[in-house]
Amino acid sequence: MKTFHAFEIKENLIEGLYKENITEPTAVQEAAIPVALQNLDCLATAATGSGKTLAYLLPVFERVDTNSKELNTLILAPTHELVVQINMVIKRLAKNSDTALRSTTIVGNVNIKRQLEALKAKPHIIVGTPGRVLELIQMKKLKSHQAKVIVIDEADKLLADSNIKTVQAIIKTTLRDRQLLAFSASLHPTTQERAIAMMKEPTVIDLSAEKPNLDIEHFCLVVERRKKIDTLRKLLHAVQPKKALVFINRNELIQEVTDKLNFHHIKAECIYGNASKVERKAALDAFRSGKSTVLIASDLLARGLDLPELSHVINLDLPAEVNEYIHRAGRTGRAGNKGTAISMVTENEINFLEGVERKFDIEFEVKELSRGQLIDREE
């Protein structure tokens, strides 16, 4: 059994991990940490929930000079929620390991004055969304040239067409000898090419082909599109999930479905694009604390979020790609717990599930709702 001692990192970091009951490195940590500790560039692909955040944070903590007042590491992430979550991990590790490391978050659509004040505290690590980070660099308030490490988290989103120019502009403001680390749950060949083009002889780690979690059951319900929302309500009443994450692709539907569920006394929260930072935080806090049992979101807004005790993943809409199905489903069935993934599909969408079955060697059990129960569908 491999332990974190094998990486020859500081004992206080290992003790800090133990306080979180983290005793063995995951596959991506085992592969990426030695590379990052050598100051080499790295591009790593591994499934959702595989421990990518600690794979880049542990080397940063090991090498940062906490006596310095210069920025050491700049971490880029695609959403407010993921930025906040990464910073929470940093704060916990700093506290548990008794490391005097300072960090702060930089995100758009919030008061920029507070962020400018936070930068005066000389953080060692900044976690931010690309748009606001670039804005502060251009205002000469964020000294990106000091950064020794740049991390691109959820690289498939940050290096996609919608974000690539902003990320490239940020990278151009950093020094050539800085280290660049990119992590993602999946990578399109074009995105991978873009990442490698930014790097210096990177080590490429691909663990995305790991087998799907055997602790997850995969069900499907064949439903007419116009009946999906009503079926979702009945399904939630039938399965009584401890906590369920519902995926909807269309942002304009997310709030509508949430309101309908709450009208029918199902405690639901949502995170959607136009919500304020305060609203989104309140929704996540309510879901994590158990005050609500259902969280509704799109792929982008739920990306990278750590949602403990998630018993069910429900696809009201199917994802665009087969690989994304496994990433969605993989949010449940963690830490030795059983999980259930349920997809609501029209007759025309069954082909998509058949593609998932072929690629990942899993089998969907076809179910139906009858008298308030989820049962096997009669052929």
For the chain, helix, strand, coil in percent to 5 are 45, 20, 40
Dist. CA 158–CA 23, nearest whole Å:
31
What are the phi and psi torsion angles at 54 (to 5°)?
-70, -25
> Residue 117 has what pLDDT?
94
What are the phi and psi torsion angles at 43 (to 5°)?
-120, 115
> Residue 333 has what pLDDT?
87
Dist. CA 217–CA 25, nearest whole Å:
26
Extended strands (E) in 129-240: 149-153, 179-184, 203-206, 216-222
> Residue 211 has what pLDDT?
65
Provide block-wise average pLDDT over 10 residues at a time, the chain (379 residues): 86 94 90 96 88 96 96 96 94 96 94 93 97 96 96 95 96 95 90 94 86 86 95 96 94 92 95 80 91 90 79 95 85 85 95 91 92 82
> Residue 305 has what pLDDT?
77
219's enclosing H/E stretch is strand 216-222
> Residue 209 has what pLDDT?
67
> Residue 109 has what pLDDT?
85
Q: Give the bridge partners for 182, in sequence order.
A: 43, 152
Dist. CA 252–CA 270, nearest whole Å:
12
Q: Give the bridge partners for 188, in sequence order.
A: none
> Residue 1 has what pLDDT?
53
Q: What is the pTM of this model?
A: 0.76
